[in-house]
């Protein structure tokens, strides 16, 4: 009987250690489970928000809206083309300029230049009304920011003259500021003798300005 009492006393510390160890293991498993749930929750929230744009204010939202654009199908001449806009086929007339008509000197060169710039490409437009021939009068740009103005490029290369083109109501489609800018560009190119302003071409051009089409 004395031996059993002695063994019981000796085994009591071991029993306590085993109990503590089991409790520790249980607590560790519980902690691991909580950590796993937290990580999974965090990963889910991260995945849920992935790819969603974050806008600070309304102005930033507006800046994400794409500008008016058009896919150019083919050209009619140096200042007129046909394109798709809002899933509709339309004819467009470049505003503020006038290029040589088919059969006139430099007509092919101006058309080829415009073709190289915009044909079979997406361009960005500023609409300025409709003309007498039911064509959309437009400023054409190569970029979304509207810094690369194709209308002005034609003037700078000497393929177009400045014209304050009118809409179907007989109103000018350009502001006086835009018109003066184009006139200044034209004077510079005339001085340089480029394109339609070269000496050889000027001799064959009529002195009276024709009605722009």
Mean pLDDT, rounded, for 3-10:
54
Which residues, listed in sequence order, are joined to residue 136 by a DSSP beta bridge? Answer: 92, 130
CA nearest to 96, candidates 157, 158, 150, 169: 150
If pLDDT is split at 50, 70 and 90, which confidence band does 13 have?
low
Q: Does the pLDDT at position 103 exceed 50?
A: yes
Domain boundary among 14, 29, 58: 58
Residue 126 half-sphere exposure, CB side, CA atoms within 13 Å? Answer: 17
Percent of the chain with pLDDT over 90: 46
Measured CA to CA, the distance from residue 151 to residue 126 in angstroms comes to 11
Tokens of 202: 């000027």
Q: Does the pLDDT at position 25 exceed 70?
A: no
If pLDDT is split at 50, 70 and 90, which confidence band does 39 have?
very low
64 belongs to a structural domain: no
Using alpha carbons only, what angle is made at residue 117 by residues 209 and 171, rounded to the nearest 5 degrees? 40
The predicted structure's pLDDT at residue 19: 52
Sign of CA pseudo-dihedral 112, 116, 118, 119? positive
Residue 52 belongs to domain spanning: 2-58
Mean pLDDT, rounded, for 156-162:
94
If asked whether residues 194 and 104 sit together in one domain, one would say yes
Q: Are 165 and 175 spatial neighbours (Cβ–Cβ below 8 Å)? A: no
If pLDDT is split at 50, 70 and 90, which confidence band does 134 have?
very high
Q: Does the pLDDT at position 210 exceed 70?
A: no
Mean pLDDT, rounded, for 149-175:
91
Q: How many domains does the chain have?
A: 2
More confident of the two residues 65 and 68: 68
More confident of the two residues 69 and 155: 155
Q: Are 141 and 148 spatial neighbours (Cβ–Cβ below 8 Å)? A: yes
If pLDDT is split at 50, 70 and 90, which confidence band does 32 have?
low
The predicted structure's pLDDT at residue 53: 39
If asked whether residues 39 and 114 sit together in one domain, one would say no
Tokens of 143: 């970029």
Q: What is the CATH number of the domain that holds 193?
A: 2.40.50.90
Question: pLDDT tens-digit profile of 55-66?
Answer: 344 444 334 445
């Amino acid at each position: 009987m004395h031996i059993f009492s002695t063994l019981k006393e000796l085994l009591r510390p071991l029993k306590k250690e085993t109990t503590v160890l089991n409790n520790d293991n249980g607590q560790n498993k519980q902690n691991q489970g909580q950590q796993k749930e937290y990580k999974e929750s965090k990963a889910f929230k991260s995945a849920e928000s992935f790819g969603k744009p974050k806008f600070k204010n309304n102005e930033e939202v507006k800046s994400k809206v794409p500008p008016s654009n058009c896919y150019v199908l083919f050209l009619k001449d140096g200042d007129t083309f046909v394109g798709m806009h809002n899933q509709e086929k339309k004819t467009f007339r470049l505003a503020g300029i006038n290029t040589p008509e088919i059969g006139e000197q430099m007509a092919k060169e101006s058309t080829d230049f415009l073709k190289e710039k915009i044909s079979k490409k997406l361009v960005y437009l500023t609409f300025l009304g409709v003309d007498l021939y039911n064509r959309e009068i437009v400023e054409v740009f190569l970029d979304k920011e509207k810094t690369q103005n194709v209308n002005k490029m034609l003037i700078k290369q000497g393929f177009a003259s400045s014209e304050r083109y009118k809409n179907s109501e007989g109103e000018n489609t350009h502001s006086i500021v835009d018109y003066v800018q184009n006139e200044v560009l034209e004077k510079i190119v005339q001085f340089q003798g480029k394109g339609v302003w070269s000496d050889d071409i000027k001799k064959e051009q009529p002195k009276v300005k024709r009605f722009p089409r």
